A and B are shown apart, each in its own frame.
Chain A
Amino acid sequence: MKKRLLKFVFAALIPASAFFIVSCKGESPTEQDPSATVFEDDGYGNITVTDRGNGVGDITFTSDKIWLLNGFVFVNEGQVLTIEPGTLIKGKPGTGENAGALIVARGGKIIAEGTSEKPIIFTAEADNREGTGVDMNAAGLWGGLIILGKATTNNLTLDKAIEGIPTSETRGLYGGNDDNDNSGIIKYVSVRHGGSDIGEGNEINGLTLGAVGRGTVIDNVEIVANKDDGIEFFGGAVTVKHALVVNCGDDSFDYDQGYHGKGQFWVSIQAEYSDRGGEHDGGPSDNETGTPYAIPEIYNVTYISAEDGNSRTFTLRDNAGVTYANSLFVNFDKGIDIEYLQDESGNTAECSFKMFQNGKVNIKNNVFYNVAGQTDNDDFDAAELLKISVPEDENGNPVYEVPEEYKNAWTESFLLNDNIVADPGISSGNPVPENPQTDNLAPYPEGLDEVNYKGAFGDVNWAKGWTLTFK
């Protein structure tokens, strides 16, 4: 930057200029269509993709090339991007809209069907196919994968702009009325080292799902070392199965804005700097209690925290509900907390705790071990595992007290809902239980696999072979 110190010198003091208008037009690019997307092949098998407005078009990213995302690259409405198994896609570094990222806009489709032998890999420019180009835990080196659909959210407006993209870029809008919307297929896809800064105190998530509908298939994804959340849902009704989130900077699984899909076989493996296993918000702060409510059904998760971390298992707030069943939670410093709000007359306001009172928070048939220090099934303190949080004032004092009967009802729900403290014998290095937990399973809702174990793994590690985590 030029340092322009004021020189106290007067040159050309009096503009003799009288009454005229100077019109100097800015130069404009000479190409025919300034919005056309540029695919620039360097002759060594690297294709740099620069989207200047028209999106990628109907195209196949072939596995014989390396595809480099230069800034935000969109699959526009009506376009279909097909990615061959085994394809390597890289994102350029940058902040905000200049970070390399792939965004499937509302009405666009991605067909990324990798296989366990030939996964599709999204990673940083400095990385390589083997994953040895950068440190295993380096994060925030590029953007991420963003899918936007037409399913419902509980936002105030039908259109919502995804984090980091201004509303003036209409391809960044999501939301609609079609919960069966189909954004394509994501299978055997590994997203690594993403999460660059988008300016507002948050970063791009590894996999962002904005109002994605049930028609979309997401099965077998890995998110490694993303700087923000691993997977974040903004409304929508999509089902996600076999999702492995490892060493992300923020929460592993995050939902907001009325997500009401299903999940099964979710795995969260955390570093000591990671935040919660799950961060679950009901609605946006300007419409927390809007509908549809955020009450996803999540079964068979395995959430493992770092031994010396200080993470919370998961948080329910802003009117979020949930079903967590047949799951394993291990090594978390803190248990589950739920937000309680009270109005001035002492009534419970609309909040996650109210959702619990109304039967919309169901934490059942799960196994906890070494969560908030509780390891003994015969002698544990359920109040440590299930907490209630209330707002605090500027001096750090609670704004109001939670009635004792509410605290008790919440704590007692642990045993009433068949949760136990037991050691399944799992670790970050090997999430397949040495002591399989197969008793007392909650029945499965429609659309989920009827497996006879708790947690994300039976006796095999389905992530083995195609992920960076379990090579």
Chain B
Amino acid sequence: MKKSILNILLIFISVFVAKAQDMSEIRGTITDGETGEPLIGAIIRIENTEPPVVTVSDLYGNFSLENVPADAKKMLVSFLSYETKIINNLNLPAGGVKIINLVLEKTASQISEVLISAKSLTNTEAAIITYRKKSAGPVNGISSQQISELGDSDAAAVLKRVSGISVTDGKYIFVRGLSDRYSKITLNGAEIPGLDPNKNTVQTDIFPASIIDNIIVHKSFTPDLPASFTGGYVNISTKAYPETFILNFTTSAGYNPQANLRNDFLSYEGGNLDFAGFDDGTRNLPDEASGVVPPLYADNDKLDKITASFNKIMETSHYRSFLNQSHSFSVGNRIKLFGKPFGFFLSANYKINYTSYDNGIYGRYNLVESENGNMMNILISEKEIKGDEEAMLSLLAGFSFKVNENNGISVMFLGNSDGLKTARYREGQKTEDNLYMHEHVLGFLERRFLSGQVSGKHILPGFNKTELNWISSYTFSEQNEPDLRFFNYDGKDGSYNISYNAYPSPARFYRDLSEINSDTKIHLTIPSGLLGGKLSFKTGGAFTYKSRVSDSRKFDVLSQGLPFNGDIKEYLSDENTGQNADDAVYGIYVSNDPLTDDYNSYKAKEYISAIYVTAISDLSDRIKVITGARFENSYTEIKNNVSPFHFKYVSSEKIYPDILPVFNVRYSLSGSSILRFVYAKTVARPSFRETAPYAYYDFKEGVRVVGNPELKRTSVDNIDLRFEFFGKSNDMFSAGIFSKFFSDPIELVDDPRANNPEFHYVNADNSTMYGFEIEFKKNFAFAGLPNFSAGANYTLLQSYVEYVDNYGGEDNTVLSVKRPMYGQSPQVLNLFADYNNKEKGLNVNLAFNAEGKKLAVVTKGSVPNIYKQTFPDLKLNIAKSFGRFIKLKLSVNNILDSDNKKTYTYEGKEYIFHAYGTGRTYSFSVSYSIR
């Protein structure tokens, strides 16, 4: 393995070095200013050379001019009915490669020439802005350049920067305040698994920033996109086709005074590979316990043997923590293979992060009557300490090969592994039972996936340059949660108890989820000769398959009357196991109910097939109309793991055919300002679990969840009206209003008939959402400060959902739910200020993100719902280059030292449900790169 990497390295270097010293190469991409798509067939020519140096941009809009005399001064780029761009002062590196990316604007008038300086032409942000400007619907994006300037570590952190996006739990994205149910995430345009047993959404924290080329967020539906999004469609593109040889090695260290270099970091004894994010088998279910566990008094010898096979670690303890670290290496180049251009990008990433706090508070309240109305009454108040250690490994290999001017193929492999080791301890008063609680939780969550994608792009010359794009993707993924341990007890001052009836008994839980996704998509773009070339079509289809298996097993750790003195290790010792225990009716034993396990486990499948057609017509120079529709047929199936012949077996099938129209008008007020109107219909389908016709117990959350086979998928009418202005130096301004009308929105209610939390998925009555969005970005060149820029985006929105049920009573007992939609923030604000001095290689970036409180936990009855409060997040990045190769970066996260807070609000006063602060993190990185 090492040797082959070395060989590959030698190949680049030889390619790189072998060039004649007085010759240079120019590479770049030409973008169509009209569509934002690559411009194919643009002529790129160097002036005054003999023999002439000239080439044509290929199907990706890419071009490469070789053997350019290093002293060449002037380059011309032209295309019929487009402006000609002339680049002066080329300033080519002798023996090196120069990158020039350009956007060519269409011109109705005579041939116009635009002179540009060669300096700022490597900016990939320009391409994103052009894409935004020209796309059919409202689009936001973020480029690799911005990502590297912002210093974010993964896609979740990057996405926070995008207008109208917020991120919860560090991984689930909310677009325009709509919960993860209403967004869709793809990788290079193909479906990828969402590693959560109860959701269909993708966790975005598993993509390291260094593999991301760009992220595009579509806020309105066009027929070529999957229809199952309402808030936003996010596509993460990985790097694949570098313009020139690149090599990067970055290493960074982070320090958070609360978490790093501490002797009291809360953790537990795990496996030897925990640092790499893998369990080494330490947490595997013991072989003895893999079969049937006999109930007490059925086969006590066997039961004792099984009990003894489990490890005895069920309590948190203190360990030493090291610094946060991250190391990444990437290399890429574009070389010739069989005389054809071949690009590749390889990347390896490793990081480990520690997060810790001892300032957590956990509380529960109810509402009781008093003389002057009601009062909040405390039921539980506990302190919380937590330590998280997360390690991530990721490997990416991307290759692309241009067979000829009209045909190109790309292949990508991405392997990713993430391990999160969690130790949590809570202690405090459970007033409702008058107990002083101690609660230990030990967890390890492994998430892995391996994705392979093949895609191609073909220009069909015989068919008026019809363009064919396809991608086929296949992903394996799994989420394992081996040996999740809970140990609760009560008491203080030397007197302790395990009160089985007041809280869950000590237990071990094993949960595995695996998923296979395959996604094949074809797009055909037909520039028609109709209406003088003013009408074109795009058509295509998709077939997506997803299959998922979720298994869980739970073992209660019980005893019959064994006294507990507060020492967990002693309690679980061999002397206290089963028949060994002298001091008990029966000592420690485990109990497992295979039927309950099978009932809570499931297999599920989903097939979605789709076809679409879109017509794009230029009614005039100013008005562009896009109309079309997509037909999607989805089939889902879920069954639990109980034998099909057992009466507890349940299965459910759903088929939803949908026709989804789009009507979209883009009106150019001037060359730089645009008015858009979009109407589109989209859907939100329930997840597997939500339609499963049975109740299951979510052991981890301690709640029962009841699926609803009658659940209908939500259909949404989306309307967007937006004004956009694109100025010089990437300045932009946009403002828009939008509204969404939901039929049969799926909402979660806590059934008041149940004694304990029991969540039901219901179709609420129709709900609506209105919003206003504003965004700007301004460079301060007008004030003589071209290195300064600043920007902001702000989203204000309001939603309302209502659900009424009388729960078996007469009208007088009708209970209704009237509230904002689950997880919807009333406002989202992002601000940034940037100083970028290219000459000095200095970049300073200050970014702020905040969002309004949003519904986090639905409560029963009249107890106020729980909201997640604003977390104002201020971040600073300072990067400085030293010479051509070295760059140092300093960043400070959570400068304001904000706390995460979920609270009940009653009569203007806040009551803490859960609060903690993780403190500031300082990181420092060094990178060495060649490009």
CA distance A228 to B694 in the complex (A): 26
Taking a contact as CB atoms closer than 8 A, the residue among B383, B551, B697 that contacts A96 in the complex is B697
Asked if A436 lies at the interface with its beta carbon under 8 angstroms from chain B, I say no
A160 contacts B755, C-beta separation under 8 Å: yes
A1 contacts B520, C-beta separation under 8 Å: no
A3 contacts B284, C-beta separation under 8 Å: yes
Provided the pairs A135-B586, A138-B560, A350-B368 are in contact, do residues A17 and B510 lie with their beta carbons within 8 angstroms? no
Provided the pairs A285-B432, A347-B370, A391-B377 are in contact, do residues A98 and B551 lie with their beta carbons within 8 angstroms? no
Residues of B close to A315: CB separation below 8 A: 434
Residues of B close to A117: CB separation below 8 A: none
Give the contacts of B505-528 with A (CB-CB under 8 A): 505, 510, 512, 514, 518, 520
Q: B-facing mask of A376-406, CB < 8 A → 1, else 0?
A: 0000000000000101111110010000000
B518 contacts A15, C-beta separation under 8 Å: yes
A135 contacts B499, C-beta separation under 8 Å: no
CA distance A15 to B474 in the complex (A): 8
Name which residue of chain B comes closest to A288, CB basis. Answer: B368
Scoring B372, B377, B697, B861 by chain A CB atoms within 10 A of each residue's CB, the highest score goes to B377
A95 contacts B591, C-beta separation under 8 Å: yes
Asked if A271 lies at the interface with its beta carbon under 8 angstroms from chain B, I say yes
B596 contacts A96, C-beta separation under 8 Å: yes
Chain B binder among A59-67, A165-173, A212-220, A415-423: A165-173
Asked if A451 lies at the interface with its beta carbon under 8 angstroms from chain B, I say no
Name which residue of chain A comes closest to B638, CB basis. Answer: A26
B contact residues, range: 35 or more
CA distance A141 to B560 in the complex (A): 10
Taking a contact as CB atoms closer than 8 A, the residue among A6, A199, A317, A345 that contacts B448 in the complex is A6
Taking a contact as CB atoms closer than 8 A, the residue among B295, B561, B756, B760 that contacts A200 in the complex is B756
**Nearest Cβ distance between residue B428 and chain A, in whole angstroms?**
5
Taking a contact as CB atoms closer than 8 A, the residue among B382, B448, B753 that contacts A161 in the complex is B753
A15 contacts B520, C-beta separation under 8 Å: yes
Taking a contact as CB atoms closer than 8 A, the residue among B383, B415, B561, B753 that contacts A160 in the complex is B753
Taking a contact as CB atoms closer than 8 A, the residue among B290, B377, B382 that contacts A349 in the complex is B377
Asked if B478 lies at the interface with its beta carbon under 8 angstroms from chain A, I say yes
Asked if A8 lies at the interface with its beta carbon under 8 angstroms from chain B, I say yes
Name which residue of chain B comes closest to A282, CB basis. Answer: B368
Give the contacts of B852-898 with A (CB-CB under 8 A): 859-863
Provided the pairs A4-B512, A343-B372 are in contact, do residues A94 and B609 lie with their beta carbons within 8 angstroms? no
CA distance A158 to B814 in the complex (A): 10
A93 contacts B861, C-beta separation under 8 Å: no
Residues of B close to A21: CB separation below 8 A: 607, 609, 633, 635
Name which residue of chain A comes closest to B760, CB basis. Answer: A167
A94 contacts B370, C-beta separation under 8 Å: no
10 contacts between A and B (CB under 8 A): A10-B450, A14-B474, A22-B607, A138-B296, A201-B702, A229-B501, A249-B500, A344-B375, A392-B378, A395-B428
Residues of B close to A471: CB separation below 8 A: none
B363 contacts A394, C-beta separation under 8 Å: yes
B755 contacts A284, C-beta separation under 8 Å: yes
Provided the pairs A95-B593, A161-B758 are in contact, do residues A199 and B644 lie with their beta carbons within 8 angstroms? no
CA distance A370 to B545 in the complex (A): 71
Taking a contact as CB atoms closer than 8 A, the residue among A2, A25, A167, A392 that contacts B431 in the complex is A392
CA distance A134 to B295 in the complex (A): 12
A158 contacts B809, C-beta separation under 8 Å: yes
Provided the pairs A1-B510, A26-B639, A200-B756 are in contact, do residues A14 and B454 lie with their beta carbons within 8 angstroms? yes
CA distance A399 to B609 in the complex (A): 60
Asked if A121 lies at the interface with its beta carbon under 8 angstroms from chain B, I say no
Per DSSP, chain B at the interface is strand
A34-B647, A52-B647, A389-B434 known; 15 new pairs, CB 8 Å cut-off, are A1-B290, A35-B647, A94-B593, A125-B295, A157-B809, A160-B755, A161-B758, A197-B556, A201-B504, A201-B702, A202-B501, A250-B500, A287-B861, A349-B375, A391-B377
**Nearest Cβ distance between residue A214 and chain B, in whole angstroms?**
22
Please report B residues at the A interface, Cβ cutoff 8 Å. 284-285, 290, 295-298, 361-363, 366-372, 375, 377-379, 381-383, 415, 428-429, 431-432, 434, 436, 448-450, 452, 454, 472, 474, 476-478, 495, 497, 499-505, 510, 512, 514, 518, 520, 541, 543, 545, 551, 553, 556, 558, 560-561, 563, 585-586, 591, 593, 595-596, 599, 607, 609, 611, 633, 635, 637, 639, 644-645, 647-649, 651, 653, 694-695, 697, 699, 702, 704, 706, 751-756, 758, 760, 807-810, 813, 815, 859-863
**Nearest Cβ distance between residue B703 and chain A, in whole angstroms?**
8
Please report A residues at the B interface, Cβ cutoff 8 Å. 1-4, 6, 8, 10, 12-15, 17-29, 34-35, 50, 52-53, 71, 93-98, 124-126, 133-135, 137-141, 155-163, 166-169, 173, 175, 197, 199-203, 227-229, 249-250, 271-273, 275, 284-289, 310, 315, 317, 319, 337, 341, 343-345, 347-351, 389, 391-396, 399
**Nearest Cβ distance between residue B771 and chain A, in whole angstroms?**
33
A201 contacts B296, C-beta separation under 8 Å: no
**Nearest Cβ distance between residue B515 and chain A, in whole angstroms?**
11
Taking a contact as CB atoms closer than 8 A, the residue among B369, B448, B586, B651 that contacts A289 in the complex is B369
B368 contacts A319, C-beta separation under 8 Å: yes
Residues of A close to B859: CB separation below 8 A: 286
CA distance A296 to B372 in the complex (A): 28
Taking a contact as CB atoms closer than 8 A, the residue among B543, B607, B808, B861 that contacts A159 in the complex is B808
Residues of B close to A134: CB separation below 8 A: 296-297
Residues of A close to B436: CB separation below 8 A: 396
A26 contacts B644, C-beta separation under 8 Å: yes
A391 contacts B501, C-beta separation under 8 Å: no
Residues of A close to B609: CB separation below 8 A: 19-21
Name which residue of chain A comes closest to B411, CB basis. Answer: A13
A17 contacts B545, C-beta separation under 8 Å: yes
Scoring B295, B476, B501, B553 by chain A CB atoms within 10 A of each residue's CB, the highest score goes to B501
B758 contacts A167, C-beta separation under 8 Å: yes
CA distance A228 to B499 in the complex (A): 9
Name which residue of chain A comes closest to B639, CB basis. Answer: A26
Q: For the complex of A and B, list the 6 residue pairs with the smallest distance between their C-beta atoms, beginning with the closest.
A: A286-B861, A159-B808, A166-B695, A158-B809, A126-B297, A250-B501
CA distance A271 to B563 in the complex (A): 12
Residues of A close to B607: CB separation below 8 A: 21-22
Residues of A close to B637: CB separation below 8 A: 24, 26
Residues of A close to B514: CB separation below 8 A: 4
Residues of B close to A345: CB separation below 8 A: 371-372
B454 contacts A394, C-beta separation under 8 Å: no
Residues of B close to A163: CB separation below 8 A: 755-756
Residues of B close to A34: CB separation below 8 A: 647
Residues of A close to B383: CB separation below 8 A: 394-395
A15 contacts B472, C-beta separation under 8 Å: yes
Scoring B368, B553, B591, B704 by chain A CB atoms within 10 A of each residue's CB, the highest score goes to B368
Scoring A229, A317, A343, A347 by chain B CB atoms within 10 A of each residue's CB, the highest score goes to A343
A286 contacts B862, C-beta separation under 8 Å: yes
Residues of B close to A156: CB separation below 8 A: 752, 813, 815, 860-862
Taking a contact as CB atoms closer than 8 A, the residue among B366, B635, B647 that contacts A288 in the complex is B366
Residues of B close to A200: CB separation below 8 A: 504, 697, 702, 704, 755-756
Taking a contact as CB atoms closer than 8 A, the residue among B476, B561, B563, B645 that contacts A29 in the complex is B645
A201 contacts B503, C-beta separation under 8 Å: yes
B706 contacts A167, C-beta separation under 8 Å: yes
CA distance A89 to B644 in the complex (A): 29
Residues of B close to A227: CB separation below 8 A: 500-501
CA distance A350 to B366 in the complex (A): 13
**Nearest Cβ distance between residue B584 and chain A, in whole angstroms?**
9
A166 contacts B429, C-beta separation under 8 Å: no
CA distance A394 to B290 in the complex (A): 40
Name which residue of chain A comes closest to B514, CB basis. Answer: A4
CA distance A200 to B11 in the complex (A): 63
Name which residue of chain B comes closest to A15, CB basis. Answer: B518
Name which residue of chain A comes closest to B516, CB basis. Answer: A15
CA distance A35 to B647 in the complex (A): 8
Provided the pairs A52-B647, A158-B808, A166-B754 are in contact, do residues A137 and B454 lie with their beta carbons within 8 angstroms? no
Residues of A close to B379: CB separation below 8 A: 285, 391
